[in-house]
Amino acid sequence: MISRSTKLLTHPILQSLTQYSTLTHTPSPSLPQIPKKLHHKDWLSPTEVLQVFTSLPDPTSLLPTLHHYSTRKDYKPTEALYTLIIDKLSQAHLFDSVDTIISRIKSERNCRLSDDFFRNVIRNYGNVGGYIKKAMQTLYDMPGFGCWPSVKTFNLVLHLLVSTKMFEVVHEVYLKSAELGVEVDACSLNIMIKGLCECGKVESAVKVLDEFPQQKCVPNALTFSTLMHGLCGNGKVDEAFGLLKRMEDEGVDPDSVTFNILIAGLRRQKRNDEGIELLEKMKLKGCAPNPASYQEGLYCLLDAGRFVEAREFMIRMVSRHVGPSFVSYKQLIQGLCKEDRVEELDWVLRQMMRQGFVPKMGMWRQIIRSVISKRRNHCCVSYEETIDDLIT
């Protein structure tokens, strides 16, 4: 027997109403869940608040949670809390929300913030988000928050501008140093030199050297190395050597990077013998060569066509636990094959494979061609056919 209620449910009009109700009452998107701890009336310490925000798995819930926290009587944000929130938002690339937090901090003015805080914000904007102009604006806005930037924060912005090749803005920021209360240091001037060199204004970069005494700064090995790199890149190797003399006259000791730049500069001008001599001179000056120094010296020998010496030099490199590059092995094999020094290829090939490099097919063809070239007149098959058979 069918009950009255069951009959009513099967009525066509009621069924239509039920379907309409289902269609029009779709569940609304779930709102961010506020942690239960913030709903309690118990007073929360700054450490407990940090724990609440640290535990939030969804970055989009950070702003609603902060808003809810601001309605409590114990609301007292700290630099550590703001740093945590901005870091989590930045990692999620929610930089519009970061802007909202910065605006909130400025309007509330209920938390004193340090230079470290703003440097972290600048780093997030620049390094994580790629918003260089926002990073720069944050530097400019710091005095409005009652915090003056340190030279470390100032240099971070200069470095961001140079590394992203925004050279036209670097000088503008540099000129703002006095207005921002920043006393530039040697690092600031080194960044300026790097920027000028990278945009091709090497002569202007050299003139920055004159600013060091005016700013009561002393140039270091990095200062001269950067300038030498710029000069050598523009083919002005002799001028770079002039800077080497100047740095020695001023009591600045050149390091291995300085010599590596000069050796590479000489090699680019095909002055390979001078490059090899400079490698020996740096040892006499008490500067120990690093792996890059040995690699540059090896390239000089290879470029000069001194392949037997290059092999001996490579043996010395390996004995010092310095691994030559794949290009070095390739050039040496080509050179030894060209000079028919087949007997000296064995060590090169074995060492190459010990280092994890695998010879390419073209290199094997060249090696085999060199090995059998002396016998090709005595073979019954053609030279090229023999090579193909050996490889396949």
Per-residue pLDDT tens digits for 117-135: 999 999 999 999 999 999 9
pTM for the model stands at 0.79
Task: Using the predicted structure, report yes or no on whether residue 81 has a pLDDT greater than 60.
Answer: yes
**Per residue in 54-68, pLDDT tens?**
999 999 999 999 999
Q: Which CATH class is domain 56-184?
A: mainly alpha
Only one residue has tokens 């997030």, namely 124
Residue 342 has a pLDDT of: 79
- Cβ(310)–Cβ(303) below 8 Å: no
Task: Using the predicted structure, report yes or no on whether residue 251 has a pLDDT greater than 70.
Answer: yes
Q: What's the CATH number for 255-359?
A: 1.25.40.10
- Cβ(186)–Cβ(216) below 8 Å: no
- The angle subtended at Cα 332 by Cα 299 and Cα 238, nearest 5°, is 15
Residue 178 has a pLDDT of: 94
**Per residue in 82-120, pLDDT tens?**
999 999 999 999 999 999 999 999 998 888 999 999 999
Residue 340 has a pLDDT of: 82
* pLDDT mean over 41-53: 91
Q: Write out the DSSP string of 8-47.
A: HHT-HHHHHHHHHHHHH-PPPPPPPPPPGGGTS-S---HH
Q: How many CA atoms lie within 13 A of 350 on its CB side?
A: 8
Residue 18 has a pLDDT of: 42
Closest CA to 369 of 357, 356, 382, 358: 382
Residue 56 has a pLDDT of: 94
Tell me the C-alpha to C-alpha distance, in Å, between residue 277 and each of 178, 218, 300: 47, 30, 10
Residues in Cβ contact with 184 at an 8 Å cutoff, skipping those fewer than 6 apart: 151, 154, 174, 177, 215, 217
> Could you give the CA distance from residue 140 to residue 121 in angstroms, rounded to a whole number?
13
> Could you give the CA distance from residue 182 to residue 175 in angstroms, rounded to a whole number?
10
- Cβ(86)–Cβ(101) below 8 Å: yes
Residue 285 has a pLDDT of: 85
**Per residue in 375-389, pLDDT tens?**
554 454 444 544 454
> Could you give the CA distance from residue 389 to residue 392 in angstroms, rounded to a whole number?
5
Task: Using the predicted structure, report yes or no on whether residue 5 has a pLDDT greater than 50.
Answer: no
Q: What is the number of other CB atoms lying within 10 angstroms of the CB of residue 315?
A: 12
| Start-end of CATH 1.25.40.10 domains in the chain | 56-184, 255-359
Task: Using the predicted structure, report yes or no on whether residue 221 has a pLDDT greater than 80.
Answer: yes
> Could you give the CA distance from residue 54 to residue 81 in angstroms, rounded to a whole number?
9
